[in-house]
Amino acid sequence: MKKTLEQVGKYVNLMKKTFSLPDNWRMFWRQLPLEMEKLGINTVGIIVLISIFMGVIMTMQTIMNTENPMLPRYSTGLVLRDTLLLEFSSSIMSLLLAGKVGSNIASEIGTMRVTEQIDALDIMGVNSANYLILPKIIGLMLCMPMLVTFSVFCGLAGGCGVAIFTDMITISDFIYGIQYAFIPYYFTYSIIKSFFFGFVIASVSAFYGYFAYGGAIDVGKASTNAVVNSSILLLAVNVILTQLLLV
């Protein structure tokens, strides 16, 4: 318990250092698009691929498991849309991103720590936390809504593919389903969640990297801890946000 509290204290102090004014705004604005490219744009491929496949699988599973004459045929599209909007594209996709982006951030910063590059920044008088972590957090928070939107559309495209290439459901039933009883707030909810998830992934991973010490094995441990703990925290934040925004 004491160790956990100490960790929380260290995390809060690190965030205080991170969210101070940059030493040099020009350097910050130069760094931000680079981080957005590295953490966001370079992740689009995997997001598209996973979302399409999940869209296909969810559509097929929904059709196969709801063969009930009481249920309208368009319900498949409706289920897929709401699942994507409410949970898959924001929460599950964020868990996947915690693995890819989180380990990337933790290992990058952790390597900088063990090779004394962070000490070098500190000795130069640079606020190392602010210089290294802030562009990553802001960059990922800005990219997350874009990634979530991509994921939703790709998931729906995957479902469409099932309707087009199989005879499990007609395309008109599917399209009617994804339009039926659409609640625009669900999209807003998904975007709001993605901002918070972006913050959790980047900040928790950066925390574990920043306080890594030792050698390659320790950077590996820091990277694993970053993924595990940011995933747990994502789920906890998801519960809180769902309670606050939907219930």
Alpha helices by DSSP H, the chain = 2-18, 25-35, 44-65, 75-83, 93-97, 103-114, 117-124, 128-165, 171-179, 184-210, 216-245
What is the contact surface with another protein in residues (CB under 8 A)? 23-24, 26-27, 115-117, 119-120, 122-127
Nearer to another protein, 6 or 119 (CB): 119
CB of 7 to another protein, least distance (A): 18
Residue-wise over 226-237: b if at least 16 C-beta within 10 A, else e? Answer: bbebbbebbeeb
Nearer to another protein, 17 or 73 (CB): 17
- Tokens standing for 216? 């390659």
d(CA 178, CA 159): 10
The Cβ of residue 161 has, within 10 Å, a number of other Cβ atoms equal to 14
Nearer to another protein, 27 or 71 (CB): 27
CB of 116 to another protein, least distance (A): 4
CB of 24 to another protein, least distance (A): 5
In 3D, which of 141, 84, 111, 98 has the Cα closest to residue 230?
Answer: 98
Contact partners, residue 212, CB within 8 Å, separation at least 6: 106, 109, 110, 113, 114, 218, 219, 221, 222
Nearer to another protein, 46 or 126 (CB): 126
Nearer to another protein, 35 or 190 (CB): 35
Nearer to another protein, 108 or 207 (CB): 108
CB of 137 to another protein, least distance (A): 19
CB of 228 to another protein, least distance (A): 27
In 3D, which of 59, 111, 81, 93 has the Cα closest to residue 218?
Answer: 111
DSSP 1: -
First-residue to last-residue Cα distance in the chain: 31
CB of 119 to another protein, least distance (A): 7
CB of 133 to another protein, least distance (A): 16
d(CA 224, CA 81): 33
Nearer to another protein, 41 or 191 (CB): 41
